[in-house]
Each structure stands twice: as structure tokens, then as C-alpha cells.
Homo-oligomer: A and B are copies of this chain.
């Protein structure tokens, strides 16, 4: 993977060349990110967990998954740019907080509400 800074800059140029910065407000970009995650969800909603795990073995589905993930990344990087947040730095800082919240030995995801 190359650097996210290059991607951020390419997306800046893309938006600037089309006068789209007026649309790319933080509030709008949060909605756009949410809509794109909805399109990604649409690709997986009817698949069993087993089918979903093999999603990339189907060429058409794999293409669509890559395409929707790309849209998610675009709006996430644009949003972080507009908010002046370093995504990778924020993600590493959160891992440190999570190390304290979930000391090794904890066997369940953070938000799991188990059904027994």
C-alpha cells in the first residue's frame, strides 16, 4: 500500500478540478460515507457467512466489493482531510486505548452482547 497522503492529494485535485469543494462539507461527507457503506452492505446482506468469506472468489462480486471499498475510502479520506484528522495516527492512538480497555485474555469483541 502506498501512502494515504498521496491519495488525499489526488482526491483534493479531483474535487478542485470539478468545483466540488462546496459540496464536500463535513456534514455532507459523513452522509456520503454512510451511503457508500450502505452500498457495500448491499453486496453482503443476503450472503451466508460462508458465502461472504468466499466473496472474492466470484470475479463480478469481487470487482463490486473493490469498487465500493474504494468509494468508502474516498469519502473517509476526504472527510478526514476537511476535519484535519490524520486517520492512521488516530487509528494507532485508538489501538493503544483499546489495549487498556481489552487486556489480553479477553475473549470477546468490544461490543459483543452474547446470547446464551
A contact residues vs B (CB 8 Å cutoff): 1-5, 7-8, 10-11, 14, 17-20, 23-28, 30-49, 51-58, 60-61, 64-67, 69-74, 76-77, 79-80, 82-95, 98-99, 102, 104-109, 111-116
The closest CB in chain B to the CB of A5 belongs to: B1
Per a CB cutoff under 8 Å, which of B5, B47, B84, B108 touches A27? B47
A51 to B5, CA, bound (A): 26
In the complex, what residues of B have CB within 8 A of residue A85's CB?
56, 65-66, 69
| Number of this chain's copies in the complex | 4
Q: Do the beta carbons of A109 and B46 come within 8 Å of each other?
A: yes
A88 to B79, CA, bound (A): 16
